[in-house]
Amino acid sequence: MKEQEIQKLVEKQRSWFFTGATLNIEHRIQALTRLKTCIIKYEKEISDALHSDLKKSSFESYMCEIGLVLSEITYMLKHIRHFARERSVPTPLAQFCSRSYQKPSPYGVVLIMSPWNYPFLLTMDPLIDAIAAGNTVIVKPSAYSPRTSKILLALITQCFEEKEVSVVTGGRAENTYLLQQHFDYIFFTGSQTVGREVMRQASVHLTPVTLELGGKSPCVVERSANLHLAARRIVFGKFLNCGQTCVAPDYIYCDESVKDLLIQELKQQIRRQFGKHPLDKPNYGKIINEKHFNRLTSLIDPAKVVIGGDSNSQSLQIAPTIMDGITFQDPIMQEEIFGPILPIITYKTFDKAINKINSLPHPLALYIFTSNPQAARRIIARCGFGGGCINDTIIHLATSELGFGGFGESGMGAYHGKVGFDTFTHQKSIIDKKTWLDLPMRYQPYRKIYESLLHLFLK
């Protein structure tokens, strides 16, 4: 799409927003209901697109993308009237007689830029929240997942007029054109590098942003952990979508006394969940493209591999791989892995592990496996991270009742459910002052008695 076309699209959506049509709650409910009906209708096509782009099975596509999107719509439809309601707050005596309240109001024209790793979920979830809040939306899906982008375009075009919600496909040129426009809010999910550029461009118009980034999310295994269950859940969370998950455990940080037993359990679980030859499994996914495949294979040190390490450049597949004997200085620890490679690092004391994590950039997620509640509470309280789990991985992002997001290097802002509605909403603070009484104390000429009353009211 050309720059002039994108500019006209933004102007068209802004004109529509200014009509006030999206302020109507019934309008928003109808829009979400149409969207849900459309997703159900095209479920197979969506699943086929995800298989084409990432080789996801229909089970995984529904569990991790389609089903979660439908769940978010259901949640929003159930609560939208409550979320959109004006909320009265107490009025100070000094402002007698008034009504003070907060009025949830949509920002206006929103840009949502989504990634390729969960291309349906990470496009539709923020879109649902933005529509529920009453905004118009331009969606820019990733060029790396073309089949899913195509079905997103077809689905959204069928559900909405261009002035309400529209899709812009393409690559870097379209991204640049979009970021040069004046939006009222920008929601971006992707890498830290691109996130910085989004923030820089948004600053031109002082546009507020939500940045959902990534980082090296630690999975801490404390000495009291149930190692069998820890291994089972770590393998699930790490190798889901071939490790191409922003909240996947990036590395295991375990007590040195349990490392060998943990490795044995991890090996067992990989064989149990993926078989002896994972690359031959029809439900095992692939790396998104050759560039990322080559980057990942270059991070594998054969001398440190304890299981896996196999790859197929034709199918862009890498077997679930665990590497031992890793230090924080190794190449694999210098960047977010975003693939099916799991390094293991050990610590001597739990407090040293906490201090080390805190010396690193804030991760998007942190996982702690332990049977010691005090250890869990200590690391959750003392470490800075976006969100996480105690004795599990990644499932915290699968509930509309919990906001999802990072902070610092892993992003800013959050979404899902009420938090998502609030992300795309500006809370107007209003005082409705009554006219039947007008206290004179604030007006000149000032008097001593009024000053005494001020000290009484304002303290």
Residues catalogued as catalytic: 212, 246
| Contacts (Cβ under 8 Å, ≥6 apart) of 100 | 88, 89, 90, 91, 429, 430, 431, 432
Nearest-CA neighbor of 385 among 404, 367, 406? 406
CA angle 61, 395, 282 (to 5 degrees): 30
Compute the distance between CA of residue 71 and CA of residue 73 in angstroms, rounded to an integer: 5
For residue 210, what are the β-bridge partners?
A: 187
- For 350, phi and psi rounded to 5 degrees? -65, -40
Q: From residue 147, how far is each of 49, 127, 298 by CA, in Å?
A: 5, 19, 28
Q: Say if CB 122 and CB 144 are below 8 A apart.
A: no
Q: Do residues 244 and 287 touch, judged by C-beta distance below 8 A?
A: yes
Rounded-to-integer distance, Cα 69 and Cα 444, Å: 59
How far is it, in rounded angstroms, from Cα 139 to Cα 219?
33
Sheet architecture: strand order including 425-433: 87-89, 98-106, 425-433
The token pair that represents 410 in the structure block: 């892993």
Decide: 112 and 124 in contact? Cβ < 8 Å. no
* CA dihedral over 75, 81, 87, 88, signed as positive or negative: negative
Query: Which residues make beta-bridge pairs with 255?
Result: 347
Q: How far apart are CA 68 and CA 72, in angstroms?
A: 6
Q: Which residues contact 193 (CB under 8 A, 6 or more apart)?
A: none
- Helix or strand holding residue 167 (H, E): strand 165-167
Best CA proximity match to 72, nearest among 136, 142, 122: 122
- Which sign, positive or negative, has the C-alpha torsion 93, 94, 99, 104? negative
Q: Encoding tokens for residue 34?
A: 């149409």
Distance CA 31, CA 80 (A): 12
Integer Rg of the chain from CA = 25
